[in-house]
Amino acid sequence: MHIFGQHDEKTLIQFEHVRANAVDAALMADGHVGYVMPIGGVAAYRNQVSVVGVGFDIACGNAAIRTDLTLASFGDDEDAIRKTLSALADEIQSTVSFGVGRKNRADDAPDDHALFDDEAWIAVPDAHREQLREKARVQLGTVGSGNHYVDVFVDEAGAIWVGVHFGSRGLGHTIASGFLALGEGEAWGTRVREREVLFDLTQPLGHDYWTLMSLAGQYAYAGREWVARKVVQLLGGTELELVHNHHNFAWKEVHGDEELVVIRKGATPAFPGQYGFIGGSMGDDAVIVRGVAVDEAEAPERAAVQRAALYSTVHGAGRVMSRTAAAGSRKRRPGQKSFRGAISEGMMHKWVQEKGVILRGGGVDESPHVYRRLPEVLAAQAGTIEVLHTLRPLIVVMAGAREFDPYKD
């Protein structure tokens, strides 16, 4: 077991509960409280999988594309570049579906993807299968809300990157909710409280969950790649390199000569040589990282840290303030208290303007103020990853502050 960075008591209590049922576990430096298992948690099991461990947003992850464009591609001077980028931000916002729409409006939406004919769909109960398949079909390539985004970056060499963050949308949420209910002896579609249920992969429920979790993983990869490539097309660029990872998922991996099921909830796989894209916030830099290749004989302590991390790293900067604390609460029912949030729109816009970011959408619950600083988080993971590129945000597009989306992270 290894804990990276500093964490509040509630996060550590959650982690300890998860660790008690796992073969091994680790907590990344961006960790914070989640549903049962903390975000930033990694847990390994013998032939078992935890539905709440993987989470409701199955296969949420990050994708980044390096393009052949440079900052100079957008204009001859600073004013021209900003004018072009502002127009591109508007085009991204109008082309890609964010938030409450939850339907891909594009003529080339990938609704005929081969995954819709996958045999895995048979694991969905008969009465719900076609409705869920249709929901998934119309949502493929939509971004949603919460902390999900489409960003345009420039790296230290002037190259333009496109980055996206979102998961399997309503498909993943429905699968997770359905198996939570089944695991508590209720019917698919019944709402039950979140608690840890470990499914044995040799049993029918475990087998079917794994099958549909894997399908949601295909779905999330297809959606992120479609959105990222669509934005590259809008920019007028060509794809040169793709970096792509899930960070809410379970994998079968060999650790210490034993095959284990490793769940990463808000944690990025970081095996030696493996690339990852890690975001900061709407007003902070992101990074492209690579798992460090360590010679066991030359650096046994560093190799031991990698093993203790279960070859994982952070997925972002990590929240330090809840959405409610940041945005406040409006009185909705008699007797319910309302209060002002800690972050104002003025505070948020001041930060991103000073950074030079063109922001479309976004709410104060996603302001940079509610996150740790990414360099500090990465420093806590030192020895396991190396930063290859630092990406400065130029455009950030998110759902609007008041968009409702039941599938947000």
Tell me the CATH number at 312.
3.90.1860.10
Q: What is the mean pLDDT of residues 59-67?
A: 98
Q: Given phi > 0 = left and psi -120 to 50 = alpha, else beta, which region is 151?
A: beta
Q: Taking 70 as the threshold, does the pLDDT of residue 102 lie above it?
A: no
pLDDT reading at 329 higher than 90: no
Q: 109 in a domain, yes or no?
A: yes
| CB-based burial label for 222 (10 Å; 0-12, 13-18, 19+) | middle
Is 406 within a domain?
no
Q: Does residue 37 lie within any of the structural domains?
A: yes
Which residues form the domain of 319? 2-331+338-400
pLDDT band of residue 101 (cuts 50, 70, 90) is very low
- Nearest C-alpha neighbor of 244 from the set 90, 65, 113, 114: 65
Per-residue pLDDT band for 199 (boundaries 50, 70, 90) equals very high
pLDDT at position 409, please? 42
84 in any annotated domain: yes
Nearest of 40, 34, 125 to residue 314 by alpha carbon: 40
pLDDT at 408: 45
pLDDT, residue 133, reads 97
Q: How many domains would you assign to the chain?
A: 1
**CA-based torsion, 399, 162, 62, 8: positive or negative:** negative
Measure Cα distances from 26 to 15, 37, 108, 262, 282 in Å: 8, 11, 41, 11, 27
For residue 405, is it within any domain?
no
User: Over the chain, what is the mean pLDDT?
Assistant: 94
The confidence score (pLDDT) of residue 106 equals: 87
Q: Is residue 180 part of a domain?
A: yes
Per-residue DSSP letter, 38: P
Q: Tens of pLDDT along 209-237?
A: 999 999 999 999 999 999 999 999 999 99
In a domain, 91, yes or no: yes
Supply the pLDDT for residue 103.
Answer: 84
pLDDT above 60: residue 100: no
Mean pLDDT of 178-199: 94
Confirm whether 141 is domain-assigned. yes
For the stretch 129-167, pLDDT in tens is 999 999 999 999 999 888 999 999 999 999 999 999 999
